[in-house]
Structure 1
Amino acid sequence: MTQDALRPPGTVFRHPGRHRVAVFALDGVIPFELGIPLRIFGAAESPETGDELYEVVTCGLRPGAVRTDADFSIVVPHGLEALAEADTVVVPASHELGPVFSQGLLPASLAAAFAAVRSGARMVSICTGSFVLAAAGLLDGRPATTHWTSAAHFQRLFPRVRVDPDVLYVDDGDVLTSAGVAAGIDLCLHIVRRDFGSAVANDVARRTVVPPHRQGGQAQYVRRPLPEPRLAGTERARAWALDRLDQPLTLRQLAERESMSVRTFTRRFREEVGLSPGQWLTQQRIEHARQLLESTDLGVDRIARQAGFGTGASMRQHLQVALGVSPTEYRRTFHTSARA
């Protein structure tokens, strides 16, 4: 008989119909990152009924006080029993990871905690919480990310992990990792989008007053010496392009919106966004196509034209590269009627 079968029902989670999320708070936890899962998942509601879609609880190695990196502690109501019942486990960043951060070693207490996680549960880390997942062996052979300031150290400690220091988050199916601090918001919104579609994720983003999908990666937040004290931005060109995704747009047109040469515009754009203008445009078009596939019954060819891909064949190729699925497969999974 399994541990789950022996556990009395409803000992932690009280709503069987909701997706169960356990936020695992370790000593030294950073309050901002700790609060992200509840703020994002807790705002996700069914468009049809208004019911909450997630149940979020906070747990520790044991119930009771947990130190934070601020001048206060928190009291968590649950211990490892919450991990045994969760569908998703989130590990926020902590400043007291000890041998996990310094040597990549998992203490016996954390090993016992991961042994309590329910089989098949989705594992998520925010910021340097990825060190805990890596020390537990959950990232071996997988792509992952962490805060850009810790990425080189992370790679030295865990050479079997395929570290990408430039992205905001990495989705590897049942294990997901985010970059530093606010990238945890991006990852949690991505999870909501993956679980319940863009309409629900966009509603959560509006409620929490954040963009539903930030473009670019960590590269745009890495401090670099600037050649001039004040650089003109590329925001106007990006806003102009977003209103015209269905049209063929050239690099020269974008540069002219900012009164820059093509060369200067390309350099400034990459400094701000972390992508080339062409990569950014493709990413925007893919996102627009995804929203249309999810929320409309338009044919693939028409969506391709509205998203700026021109033909259905071109859109199929781009979605296959970016998402690993065809437009038809994506719609079958994420269309509103498929989730009803």
Structure 2
Amino acid sequence: MYSALSIGFGQSLSKNQQVRLMYSLIEEHDPDAFKMLESLSKLPTKYKINRMTITTGKPTKPETWLSGRTAEEVRGSLNTVVHESLHNFTSYYGYQILSENPPEDFDFSDSFSAFMIDGDNILLVKHSEVYNSNELKRDIPKALRTFRYDPYITPKSNVGSQKQGVYGLLDEFNAYYRGTRISYNLFPVYKEMAEKRPGAYLDYIQNMSSIRMAYYEFKYFMLSYLSKAQTKYPQLYEGFLANTDLRQAYTLIHYNFQELNQKIDQRLANIIADLNNKGIESYIKDNYFWVRTRGVGMNLEAIGLLKEELSKKRFTDQHAAFVLN
């Protein structure tokens, strides 16, 4: 196993070393993500579905999303590697499933997403008609136009979260979940480093502090989207409700991301307790996580606003109507 701990702090790595370290860390700390990357690398570019041949481009190589040259920078970019690679998987892997078990009514114009729930559970979801998520731009109050309002809702563009409606928003929800998960799972690496350098925990927390907020942002975007569909586009809303695969994917991804955020909160509390027991001052104050005199932002104010909004009856009712028990 290619170990990040065997590399000197701040040591510059060759591109080959960066890629080896990337795969080694993902394989050790997130086997599901590693399996996804393996599946992605083996996909063909031509698929036979009934009598049709569909040609696709090659998925982007995962290492494309690496940034920086040190082990610290490689670790910090793994959430982006997994996030962006999962977008590729969601777009391309559906053709693999369809070619293995083609539906009789398959039409070339049909759109599908293959949502990876875990390494062995891939949900193929056929898209129904949507409206563009950009229509939400005036429905979202200024106070709730958080970090990802731009570019996922506005300005109008060809990003999937807009043109694919709720399906594109769910794709982002899942990608942020998997990206947050790999960052969370890297804890053993940072814990070992923190034995000599307690500030290593700040790097660990910083890698999660922004992306974990995406749970609240995209849940809010999706429920707002469904609510608008229910009132303005009732036929589209009925199509979403009738799409059991869509609702199943939403239910499972939501549950997984919610549970992960709960685990993150518990881990932060454990880190604070562990450091203070060792005589190293650590606490959360003014939206920052502190270790001695250094702190990193945690987006707690924005998360609090989204939590408050999502607790309103309009959103709790919409969520309850859409999830599958």
| TM-score with structure 2 setting the length | 0.29
Q: Which has the higher contact order (CA 8 A, sep 6+)?
A: 2
